[in-house]
Structure 1
Amino acid sequence: MDKPNFLTDVRSMKHAYISYWSKLFSKRFPDHYDATYLYSLGEAGFNYITEYHIAADFHPFQRSLMEGFLVFEKQEEGVAFIFWAVLLWRQTLHEVEDSSLTLAAYKQMNSRIDDLESFIFVKYWKSDLSPDQDNSSAINLQHDDRISLLGKMAASMAHEIRNPMTSIKGFLKLLRHNINENNYERADSYLGFIEDECDQILMQVTGFLSFSRKPIMDEEMVHISVRQVLDHILSLLNPRLINENVDLLLDIPPGAMLYVQKMGIQQVLSNVLNNGIDALSELRSDKKMSISIVEDSFNTYIQVANNGPRVPEELYSTIFNPFVTDKENGTGLGLAICKQIMLNNEGDITFTSNEKETVFMLTFRKASIIS
């Protein structure tokens, strides 16, 4: 698979990015590495955030981080090493002056950094917070379960919110530059992106609050076209669809309408589509997704299908439960949130899966039935 075209110009600035990161890292960890090794580590990091044709789990940068971790005698120092190695890449991306850095490339590179942070958190959590050997009482076990639950929730929320917050910071930087250059037309477009990312944060918070027993921030039900909901979501997902070479087919009647909580349903569709792209990453080619509408007298159905590997049978009965996932870096909250949101909207979400395709079915009761 070729590298995405929108990263070609960024890769031409490779030396500038690596040099800047190496400078930041050497200030954070003086006297630990010589310049040659530090540059090679920086090169692995730059390649990681730009080489989307290599799956994250198999990229050499993860191995480089773990090798660096082993240099330290204390685990705490090693964790700090890994943490700063990743965090300083985000700082580098913000601060290097690169006129060739497009919005699409910026968002994709930040997404890759988010994936690495999630991987690191999961690895550290498993190694540092494993149950005590003598912890055999029911009270202690229950306490550990609650602490683990809180940690997983916190990790998931941080992961989901950090990406749009990082994008907002980047857009503000670009906005300031274009205002100084009196390029108000482009500045206005950046304001649109910032507004979209704020909506994304609100959407994520709404999803987490769907687990609350109290109706916190209940969103009003509105009439909205399916096409309007999808246009917003696909405007954010298109860079990833292009990057992953996924062919998306839409079969949406112009008049298809829903009576729903807009932000909540946007999150449901966003989660389902992202999960589909994740599943298709296991295919080398011929990656296909489709979104179609079916209606009857009582319900409107949105079908989201992909031709990726089938869902493991052992997940069939629990896939919508919190913290159930077969992804190494997954939090297992996405589909659980989707289920809760759909129930809050007088609907449901189900799935079928076989060797040819996996289909998630979103069922929405029509407004006349709800009222």
Structure 2
Amino acid sequence: MIVQDQLVDYLDRNLDEYLNNWKRRIRISDDDIYRDKVVANGKLMYQLVRKNIVEPIDENKIAELAKKVAMQRVEADINIGDFIHNVNLGRSVLFNHMTNSGLSSEDLQPVLESLNELFDKFAYHAVTEYTAIKNDELQEKISYIDETHQEKLSILGQMSSSFVHEFRNPLTAIMGFVAILRKENPEMKYLDVIDHELKQLNFRISQFLHVSKKEIDGVKEEEFEVSEVFNDMIDFIYPSVVDVDVHISNNIPNGLRIFGQKDKIRQVLLNIIMNSIDALKEIQKNRTIKLVGKKEKGEMKLHITNNGPAIPEKKLNTIFEPFYTTKELGTGIGLYVCQKIIQNHKGQISCQSTEKETTFTITLPSV
């Protein structure tokens, strides 16, 4: 114990010198609300060092001080890197200080090893506590943001529902009169264009109603062929296909059947194909869309691929979020609606994109 007593006596007599050397080199912000406690904590750390020299102390004592300091660092909103720098600086200054005690390196070696372990444990517990508190704060913020976002979506849904219901009434009347005009004047110009645009507008309104959850979903479920769904919508998308000069390759085999709401699945296919057509406007030629369907282990997999520009990897994780869009005049609800419809059919929808092609994959239970 003679070596330990001599070392403790030396450190006690030169404590101010040690603390001043450490204080001059530490990193501390002028905005730190616990600025005046940094040196006080340094003294508390020295007390642990002092006790540990005499006899190794319990790790709980180390963790107790580490957690206290970590809480202060969190409340002060200080970079954890600066805190670790100050801890390691304290270790370095202390060890250099101890070499001037007059004790031999042989006598100091076991003490230095023990103190090294002390500082390591202190840093470990402090960083662990700091990280845990920060994670809790982050989760609280995420939860608050999610709740606020859901409230905004709910309000927006109510507003859009009210608006589109009022809009749909005159739209329905217009579509009815266009149908009458077509019947009475089959040769009249531009009726096909007007009818197509009205259907497109009605389709967008249906999307808003689906998002707002105000639409009465009374569509019956039935067993049907996926190829029939695509064939039913050919006439609807034909003007856009011709206008953009897109070649559509349909490789959905006959006999590929699923059970669900046929109109909803048609809405999904229509949305993805129309999005693909919009994407293909950005390339100059050889615009293609490929549909490939197959049955695997009781599931129907449908791949819709276009050779348009790649979707950036960072955006792939957000394209199915409501009101997220990369289009200048987009609503950002199309793919969100698609995802909800597929999920309601106990399926999944995903997207992969490279420089050569972008593929949406729909997986649904088959029959």
> TM-score normalized by structure 1?
0.49
Which is higher, the Rg of structure 1 or of structure 2?
2
